[in-house]
Amino acid sequence: MLDAKKIAQDFPILQKKSRGKRFVYLNSAATTQKPRQVIEAISDFYSNHHGTVHRGSSEISAQATEMFEKAHENIGKFVNASMQETVLTRNTTESLNLLAYSLSKKYLKPGDEVLLTKMEHHSNIVPWQQLALEKGFTVKYAGITKSGELDISDLQEKISNKTKVVSFTHCSNVLGTINDAKEISRIARDAGAISIVDGAQSVPHMMVDFKKIGCDFLAFSGHKMLGPTGIGVLAGKKERFEELPPFLFGGDMISEVFFDHSTWNDLPFKFEAGTPHSAGAIGLSAAIDYLEKIGIEDVLRHERELTKFAFEKLSGLGFVEMHGPIPEKRGGVISFNVRGIHPHDVGGVLDEYGIEIRTGSHCAQPLTRELGLESGSARMSFYVYNYREDIEAAVEAIEKTFRLMGK
Ligand code: 7TS
């Protein structure tokens, strides 16, 4: 079993005070804090090994290239993807933009359909909408059930021979719902569509095996899994990457350049234009080593335990409405509303107690509207460094907020 209090000791920021109180961080679905081991790996790289990757002639730049490539390989291995199947991007958003651009350039034409779900983050909606305007394809959405789960029968009804792409979140950042990525990818494959899994909220928290899921692409962000900001991943089947046109053009992604045309580098570098974020890759690789030491299965187990605890505490209050399915069907994310209090006020009062949560639409406005939450919701989300006292502190502060402002 994971020892969250001991783990929290590795995080310098969690030793700080906020508003004069112990800093309680319950916003890991937005971004996670960083352990000493990750900060030190980045600092060591810049202090001792930094040089240009793939572009220098010194011993130091050869070291930088070797460290970058080793980190690159380690990042792919975490989701069971080979080096050629792992493209490094800036974040999930860039990974999904890459796909929307390259897939629509290669495959999508007027009359075609892209099927999403009603529980997507904006980054898996807006790129498709924008390219639909340009290419004339249609974007459709599979619905959700009353309990906040994906309506698989609606998805099956909406999928047809017009559907060329099915892109969906593995875990909702609002409802916490964990979708059956393997089953949805199978449904897409049977319909002849390309499947894309948004793993931003799943890869950091549970065992995600790109090959076992059987999807065509899997996107995730380093900063949501203890790694630095500015580094993200797009895992994809080699044959898919091979047939797709590049997204960004310039140095490193080319094989040969002539005045009148160019040819592309081998995978994965065909999709990695420009000087790479080498320190980001090295930091993310250190984060993966840290998570592997804990054991990724234990991460979800721990978060489930916290989620159950928070569910009990929050429902015990009698004035808190929680959204989404039962703890057994979700990750460590709980969105809720406190009767008679605007979510922003809940966030504001919790901040006075040194507690950070997130409030609003959580970058999922269509879902928030679908749920009838005009003012959005408050959300707490957990990770490896959270323990019961964090939740107790939040619940106590919510109770005080209600006494002060609730109805
Ligand atoms: N997909 C999902 C499911 C997400 O939750 C997020 C970020 C993204 C994509 C985009 O990730 P990025 O790293 O490219 O920004 N979600 C959140 C959130 O819930 N609160 O802040 C960001």
Report all structural domains of the chain as residue ranges with CATH numbers, in order of start: 39-292 (3.40.640.10), 296-405 (3.90.1150.10)
**Catalytic residue check, 215:** no
Whole-angstrom distance, CA of residue 170 vs CA of residue 205:
11
Specify the pLDDT at position 54.
Answer: 87
Active-site hit among 215, 363, 373, 395: 363
Candidates 128, 107, 102; CA nearest to 245 is: 102
Confidence of residue 407 (pLDDT cuts 50, 70, 90): confident
pTM above 0.85, yes or no: yes
Q: What is the mean pLDDT of residues 369-381?
A: 96
Sequence-ordered strand ranges (E) for 204-276: 217-221, 232-236, 254-257, 262-264
Express each pLDDT in 200-248 by its tens digit: 999 999 999 999 999 999 999 999 999 999 999 999 999 999 999 999 9
Instruction: Name which of 47, 33, 45 is nearest 279 in CA terms.
Output: 45
Determine the pLDDT at residue 1: 85
In this prediction, what percent of the chain has a pLDDT beyond 90? Answer: 98
- Map 122-160 to HEC letters: HHHCHHHHHHHHHHCCEEEEECECCCCCECHHHHHHHCC
Residue 29 Cβ contacting ligand 1 at under 6 Å? yes
Per-residue model confidence (pLDDT) at position 295: 97
Residue 56 has pLDDT above 90, yes or no: no
Q: Taking residues 316-340, report their average pLDDT.
A: 96
Closest to 169 (Cα-Cα) out of 123, 125, 120: 120
Ligand 1 pocket member 173 (CB < 6 A): yes
- Pick from 201, 335, 382 the residue to mutate for probing ligand 1's pocket: most ligand atoms within 8 Å of its CB: 201
- 366-376 in b/e form (b: 16+ CB < 10 A) is ebbeebebeeb
pLDDT(375) > 90: yes
Average pLDDT of every residue of the chain? 97
Report DSSP state, residue 74.
H
Model confidence pLDDT, tens digit, residues 273-297: 999 999 999 999 999 999 999 999 9
pLDDT at 313: 98
Query: Under the phi-then-psi rule, with left for phi > 0, alpha for psi from -120 to 50, and beta for the rest, what region is 98?
Result: alpha
Q: What is the pLDDT of residue 86?
A: 98
Supply the angle between the helices 36-44 and 278-294 in degrees, to the nearest 10. 150
Report whether pLDDT(30) > 90: yes
Kindly tell me if the per-residue pLDDT of 55 is higher than 90. Answer: no
49 alpha-carbon distance from chain centroid: 29
In 3D, which of 113, 195, 127, 201 has the Cα closest to residue 158? 113
The response to whether residue 169 sits with its C-beta less than 6 Å from ligand 1 reads yes
Ligand 1 atom with least separation from CA of 223:
13
pLDDT score for 215? 98
| 247, two tokens | 């997204």
First CA to last CA across the chain, in angstroms?
41
Report residue 63 as tokens: 């070291």
**Span 152-176, mean pLDDT?**
98
Residues present in the chain in total = 407
Joined together, the tokens standing for residue 121 give: 């983050």
Is the confidence at residue 190, as pLDDT, over 90? Answer: yes
